[in-house]
Chain A
Amino acid sequence: MNLLREVKVDSPVHRLWAGTKLLVVVGLSVTLSYFPSWGAIGLATALLAAATLVGRIPPGAWPRPPRWFWVVLVVTGGLASVAGGSPHVKVAGVVLGLGGLDDYCRFVAVGVLLLLAAAVLGWTTPIGEIAPALSRLMWPLRLVRLPVDEAATAVALSVRSLPLLVGEMRTLIAARRLRPAPARPGRSEVERWLDEIVDLMVAAIAVSIRRAGELSEAITARGGLGRIAARVRGPGAADVAVMVGTAALCYAATLFPT
């Protein structure tokens, strides 16, 4: 799973503040969800294509969906096209209803674009910058006395623990593979299967609790919670330009009929 991994090149997109990119992703997601028209899809595609090119994201970074994904895509698409509906098109003397296909393509396009927006964010942002940017973006919530710093620290610690946990899950599954398939004594199949799941979950959670204990000792040894980043970044001129441009684009997207 290569999402949320930074592609380590230097580009103008990489140099943007993480908060800007977060806002762009959220803004695009909301706009596309509210106005899933072809016009909006086209504008969003243009924006993300530009981001990918300017961000120097190599084609190798794109996820490679497995074969069954394409099969499902084609089959559902086929069913949707058979459904018919306006607009109708005359092809070689036969009237085809493309309404179903049109809806389907828009649906798939919106889904893919939403995922792509998050992916571009992950590819162009060092993961350690996300929590501090979030902390800064949430400053209005401080006025209502919500624990913004605590929430940002929780995100930072989760981000920090994620690779350790993924490694542990991999080891857990590998250790399971080293064992033979379960034998078949008296108990029922379902009970054994449930037992196995519980055992694996217990192993995962026991290890996670231990990690949490070590993490909390590390925090206590540092005197408790506090700063989470060395350099506190904020939006610059380029960031403001991107935010204004995205806002304009989102507004333009709303003008197309749905």
Chain B
Amino acid sequence: MPDDATRTTGPLRPVEIATAAVMAALAVVLTVVGWFLPHLTIVAAFAVVPLGVVAHHHRLRALLAAMFAASVLSFLVAGTGTVTNVVECAAVGGLVGVAKRRGWGLGVVAAGVAVIGPVLAAVSVGLLAVFAALRKLTLAQFRNTWKGVRRILAGVPGTAGLVHHADRFVATALRDWWATVAIVVIAATAWFAILGWVFIGAVLDRLRWIRPQDRLELDSDPRPPGPLPVALHDVRYRYPGADSDALGPVSLAVQPGEMVALVGDNGSGKSTLARVLAGRPPTAGKVTRPGSAGLGRRGGTALVMQHPETQVLGVRVADDVVWGLPAGAEVDVAALLDAVGLAGMGGRETSGLSGGELQRLAVAAALARDPRLLISDESTAMVDEEGRRELTALLRSLPGRRGMAVVHVTHRAEEAAVADHRYRLAAGRLVPDADPAISNGSAPDGAPVAPAGRPAPLELEGVSHTYGLGTPWEQPALRGVDLVVEPREGVLVVGGNGSGKSTLAWIMAGLLRPTFGECRLGDRPVRQQVGAVGLAFQHARLQLQRATVGRDLRAAGAPDDAAAAAALAAVGLPASEFAERRVDSLSGGEQRRVALAGLLARRPSVLVLDEPLAGLDRPARDALVDLLAGLRFRHGLTVVVISHDLAGMGKVCDRVVRLHEGRVVSDSAREGAPL
């Protein structure tokens, strides 16, 4: 249910502008696809849906921002024609979105169309009246095409009557062009409205409990920033609508000039504690500070978060460092980049940086505000080993260099080892430093999901792939990879940023055709048997494409409910509990498992996993590794894991292949050295 915040006036809040921007980008993608691919023209009409979602969750000002951004972007990509589609979709999407929010019925929407349609028609006719020469040229095209068709049909017997009628119709339509345009625009508006009503309604219904959420809040404390020294006294926190406290009671203190580590598994409350330290008022207990927490303000608190990609707001490194600073605030960008080890990279584009570099850039942006307290909320979770080391060293150096305090939240004990003070959290409380092993998900069991068909080796022969071959954006990803994966092998493909490992995964699954060479499963190319090699993407939600787990497994290829249950059992999720669950109610780890089950439903002989352990804590990782080992040894699958990390896959993979800049630089099978 939308909250009362939608009725505030004034500038857009971060969650509003973020939703507007992301949905605008989605609308642009849909519009441009529909524009350039005529057989997919209807896709452009689906731009109603994201814009409708904006209108549903937020106020009109956000929709206007989305419409503006989408118009500018689509104009730059594909010209004025797409802008008309965007404006039309924004108008109709806005109408339907607001109607859904207020509970209006189809009748009100029809009335809205009766108003919007003529307005848009009037604007179109007005523009065509002003640009008279172009209008006449366009009308001439219709007239000439018809005349050409008529000339050709003149030779065909029996069509004289039809041609005569059609001729009069075309002549009238072109002479009274304003009426024709008005009718077309109003009809299009009605058509978009129907489409919008059906699809926006369906989408909103399914995503009822997911709404754009900002789990942080802008600091409303009027005192000037003064976050340190901070002391928490018996602090508790309970999320709105929850049955029990996520955190508490917790008492601790942070002094300037020290590094504090908060260790714990997922769900232990460490993120909640980080948010409380960043300024979120607790539901019970007291937090004492000399001033306000000042999140994002000069001399206050800075927060570096888990996901490297979405934390970056600027397209270029230098722009990202200053992003969000008050207008007129000057910082020494070069010095900041130097301090985090990104010296001289100010002009680089952020899309080319590795995860570790992006996180260091986030630290630089945080340091631009000269904070007294820097909180790193699992900033090392999605970063490879080398990046983690550099990032931890950087965090360690900050208190000494700048007299600030650093709170580092992590689930890795080795990162906590460098801190001055360590606190371990479990189930929302501080516990002594013993290691409680909590298992996440039960062990896999059940009947094996053996691969269909005879086991065959996966061969890559001379595979090279270059993106954008022949264009100025040519980017070689793989150069001459020769690899043979035998049945039932467990291979770990390791490589850093830009090594080509994701490209390799797509080629192995048959989703990408290499520019040279071939990938074969058995004797046929994989491209002709898409689905025989399962590929688990890093972003599991994109692989779950139906409303409930059961329907998703059926759509993924399970021939009946028994097969779906077997696939679920193979990933350690009991079918009785999970078959009817909605996919959006699953946790991240559960979504990953259901995605795996979906792949297993097709009984593949090879399973390729792209970064399966990213972002998981120790118990979840152990459980997943056990699961993969079971798939390999009990069920006889070939498992290929693509990762930037060596650690942790010893149980599953006994062969390590290293990729560097698109080439295989080492292969433990060839050298005879086990992992």
Contact = CB atoms under 8 A, between A and B. Distances in A.
Name the residue among A175, A198, A211, A213 with the largest chain B CB count within 10 angstroms: A175
A93 interface: no
Interface in B180-238: 198-199, 202-203, 206-207, 210-219
Nearest to A82: B148
Interface string B138-168: 1011011111110110000000000000000
Interface string B525-568: 00000110011010101111111000000111100000000000
A208 B313 contact: no
A220 B556 contact: no
Interface stretch (B249-257, B317-325, B446-454, B646-654): B317-325
Contacts of B23: 208, 212
A194 B194 CA distance: 14
Nearest to B72: A155
Contacts of A215: 18, 21-22, 310, 313
Interface stretch (A43-51, A126-134, A235-243, A244-252): A126-134
Interface stretch (B24-32, B622-630, B633-641): B24-32
Judged by DSSP, the binding face of B is helix
A82 B203 contact: no
B305 interface: yes
Contacts of B584: 206
Contacts of A228: 314, 319, 323
A36 B134 contact: yes
B593 to A, nearest CB: 16
B80 interface: yes
Contacts of A126: 315-316
A53 interface: no
B494 interface: no
Interface in B114-158: 130-131, 133-134, 137-138, 140-141, 143-149, 151-152
Given A122-B77, A212-B15, A206 B534 contact: no
Name the residue among A151, A160, A183 with the largest chain B CB count within 10 angstroms: A160
Given A35-B133, A219-B17, A154 B69 contact: yes
* Interface size class of chain B, counting residues whose CB lies under 8 Å from the partner chain: 35 or more
B68 A209 contact: no
Contact of A178 (B24, B134, B511): B511
B14 A100 contact: no
Contacts of B325: 222, 226-227
B15 A213 contact: yes
A115 B76 CA distance: 9
Contacts, number: 381
B70 interface: yes
Nearest to A122: B76
Contacts of A155: 68-69, 72-73
A85 B144 contact: yes
Contacts of B319: 128, 228-230
Contact of B15 (A1, A8, A216): A216
A8 B22 contact: no
Contacts of B147: 82-84, 100
Interface residues of A, number: 112
A67 interface: no
Given A209-B212, A213-B15, A218-B305, 7 more contacts: A61-B472, A84-B147, A151-B68, A153-B17, A160-B21, A205-B49, A214-B305
Name the residue among A110, A156, A199 with the largest chain B CB count within 10 angstroms: A199
B11 A219 contact: no
28 contacts: A103-B137, A118-B75, A118-B78, A134-B72, A147-B61, A150-B12, A154-B65, A155-B72, A156-B313, A157-B18, A158-B69, A160-B314, A169-B29, A175-B537, A177-B511, A198-B206, A199-B545, A203-B541, A211-B310, A214-B307, A216-B13, A220-B214, A220-B216, A220-B218, A221-B216, A225-B324, A230-B314, A230-B319
B211 A230 contact: no
Nearest to A4: B77
Contact of A258 (B19, B26, B72, B133): B133
Interface in B324-377: 324-327, 329, 333, 346, 349, 351, 365-366, 369
A79 B144 contact: yes
A139 interface: no
A166 interface: yes
A150 B11 contact: yes
Nearest to B598: A179
A225 B472 contact: no
Contact of A198 (B202, B310, B333): B202
Name the residue among B19, B218, B599 with the largest chain A CB count within 10 angstroms: B19
A199 B557 CA distance: 16
Interface in A162-192: 162-166, 168-169, 171-172, 174-180, 182-183
Contacts of B72: 130, 134, 155
A44 B307 CA distance: 46
Interface in B61-86: 61, 65-66, 68-70, 72-73, 75-80
Contacts of A122: 76-77
A213 B215 contact: yes
Given A5-B473, A199-B545, A220-B216, A180 B531 contact: yes
Contacts of B305: 214, 217-218, 221
A89 interface: no
B302 interface: yes
Contacts of A213: 15, 18, 212-215
A76 B315 CA distance: 42
B506 interface: yes
A223 B295 contact: yes
A104 B139 CA distance: 11
Contacts of A182: 555
B318 A230 contact: yes
Minimum-distance CB pairs A-B, first 9:
A223-B296, A79-B148, A128-B315, A222-B324, A157-B21, A83-B147, A216-B18, A219-B14, A230-B318
Contacts of B351: 163
Contacts of B198: 194
Contact of B46 (A81, A127, A201): A201
Contacts of B315: 126-128, 156, 159-160
B557 to A, nearest CB: 5
B157 to A, nearest CB: 19
A36 B133 contact: yes
A153 B557 CA distance: 44
Contact of B145 (A3, A83, A225): A83
Contacts of B61: 147
Contacts of B316: 126, 128, 230
Contacts of A96: none
A102 B304 CA distance: 61
A149 to B, nearest CB: 8
A146 to B, nearest CB: 10
A107 B318 contact: no
Nearest to A230: B318
Given A82-B152, A172-B542, A199-B545, A161 B21 contact: yes
B322 to A, nearest CB: 5
A227 B218 contact: no
